[in-house]
Each structure stands twice: as structure tokens, then as C-alpha cells.
Structure 1
Amino acid sequence: MDADDAVEVIQREMTAFARRARASAGRMHPELSLVSYTLLGHLEESGGCRATDLAAHYALDKSTVSRQVTALERASLVERRQDAEDHRVLLVQLTDAGRQILAQVTESRRAAFRERLTRWEPEDLERFAGYLVRYNAVPEALASPDDRGSGPAEVR
């Protein structure tokens, strides 16, 4: 297999992976789409941030993020709070309910990955993890236009 063939296989398999991830998201929690799960995860990691920071992080339109945050807010999974350092800024933060659902879905997703990878050798898992980290670490400026914004672009 030459490099062009390998890139074609990678593209096809990454697309299948993304489709499978979107499809499985509804089974993990019927009210939490993959987009919502991803945004909640980022909010947990960051300790909260502005909606514009979420839009910039995922290279999404501000209106897309605003709609998603509003839906999460209605579901009582996030709340907007005034920034203690700059009262003009509203931070989006997880609520206790948001943390609880995120933890449940995260554990379900981990269990699904563990099950799917159960027969893999530890060395293969380590290599695969390393390759994914390396692939996702490509600076945005070097990513192709098709890769940019490939975060949670699909809103449910």
C-alpha cells in the first residue's frame, strides 16, 4: 500500500469512526448528543469559559454554540455566571446535574471502548493512543480545511 492508498483508508476509517461516535451518543444518554457531551467535557476540563471561547476552541460559529449552550442551560446541565474578575463577562459552567450526567456518559463511553478494544494487545493500544494524540496535535494552521472545525459541528 502506498501513501496515497493509506491516506484514503485513514480518511474512510476516520469517517466511519465519527459516524459511529455520533450514532452511539444517543444510546449513552438519550438527551445528550455527541456535541453536548463534547461541550460539557470541555467545560469540565476548563472549569468553565465564555461561550465565545467554546466557539473559538471548536472553530464553530458563535450562534451555533449559543444555541447549544442555551439548550444545555434549559436542561439544567450548565449555567451562566458572572466572572469574578470581570463582571462584564458571563462564564458557562457545569451544574451539579451536568457533572453527574457527564460522569455517567463518560463511564459508559469508556466501557464501550474497553469492550471494543478488549482483544487488543497492550502494545497495540499504546501505539494507537500515541498515533491519535499525534494526529490531533497537528497545529490548526497545518490542518486541511476539511479538518478545521471537525469538533462538534453537528447540533442536535
Structure 2
Amino acid sequence: MGAAGQDGVAHDAAIARIQTNLTTVSRRGSARVRRANQALSPVDHSMLEYIRSHPGCRAIDMAAHFELNRSTVSRQLAALAKLGLMATDEEGSTGRSQALRLTDAGEAALQASARLINDVMRERLEGWSTQELEAFALMLDRFNDAMGEG
């Protein structure tokens, strides 16, 4: 096998390691949330964060952003609404398209969830230099930018 072939194998192995590690991060995050009796799952947190960051967004916007089926997003949103964490905004709604907003309870839950996530991140990244953190952040920015807006 030539140098290019070995490089290709190493490249594929590195991608597989990245995928495995991203899956591990996600699963551990979900498990920690359950252990901490946190009200928001990672999915709930990401949906509420999207609503906060995109005032007046609609379920179809979220489906496109997260690359999910609209019915999946609708079910998640219905559960969040039932918990009183988000609601529709009559002012921005048109016909069947409902503009979404966080409730006060949703904002409080999102802030509590963010504090927990921040604490976990600080714990996991303890001992990393600022230079290492910046490099990691830049790589994650590049990775997410390559995924596009959906």
C-alpha cells in the first residue's frame, strides 16, 4: 500500500474516532442530565435555545434547521408547550403557521439547563490551556459551519 493509501486509511480511521467520540459526548450528556434530575433533555434544551435565538420562528424553521421531519418537531413542541415552557405568539402567527416564543418558565428552565451544561463543560475542560480551548472551539466552529444552516 502506497503513502496515499495509508493516508486514506488513517483519514478514515480518524473520522470514525471523531464519530465515536461525538456519540459518546452526546450519550454522556443525556445520562448526566437524567442523573441531575434536570427538567430539560438535550433535545428540549436545543429546541428552546433555538426559539430564544430566533424569536417568532415556526416549527417548519426548526425542522429545517435540525434536519428533522416536521411531525417530529411538532411532537417535541407540543410536549414543551404542555410543560409550559413555550407558547405560540398570536401576533406573529398566520393561518396554520404558529410563531413560537419562550414563556417565563421556559426561559428559567433554559437558564438552569445552561448552568448545568456550563458546569459540566468547565469540569471536563479543567486543566486545558486557553490556547487548547481556543483551538478546540475553532475546530468545532469549522465543523458546524461545514454542516450549514440546513
Contact 1:43 1:94 in 2 (8 A): yes
Partner amino acid, structure 2, of 1:102: L
Q: For the residues of structure 2 that align with 1:119 and 1:43, how far apart are their CA atoms?
A: 34
Residue aligning to 2:28: 20
1:140, distance to aligned residue in structure 2 (A): 4.7
Q: Which residues of 2 match residues 1-156 of structure 1 at below 5 A? A: 2-84=10-92, 87-88=94-95, 89-140=97-148
* Greater radius of gyration (CA): 2
- Structure 1 gaps of 5+ residues are 142-147, 149-156
Q: For the residues of structure 2 that align with 1:107 and 1:30, how far apart are their CA atoms?
A: 11
User: Relative to structure 1, is the Cα distance of residues 139 and 34 closer, same or farther in structure 2, using a 3 angstrom cutoff?
Assistant: closer
Q: Which has the higher contact order (CA 8 A, sep 6+)?
A: 1
Percent same amino acid among aligned pairs?
35
Partner amino acid, structure 2, of 1:99: E
Q: For the residues of structure 1 that align with 2:47 and 2:33, how far apart are their CA atoms?
A: 13
- 4+ residue segments displaced more than 6 Å: none
TM-score for the superposition, normalised by structure 2: 0.84
1:139, distance to aligned residue in structure 2 (A): 4.1
Residue aligning to 1:145: none
Structure having the larger proportion of residues in helix: 2
Equivalenced residue count is 141
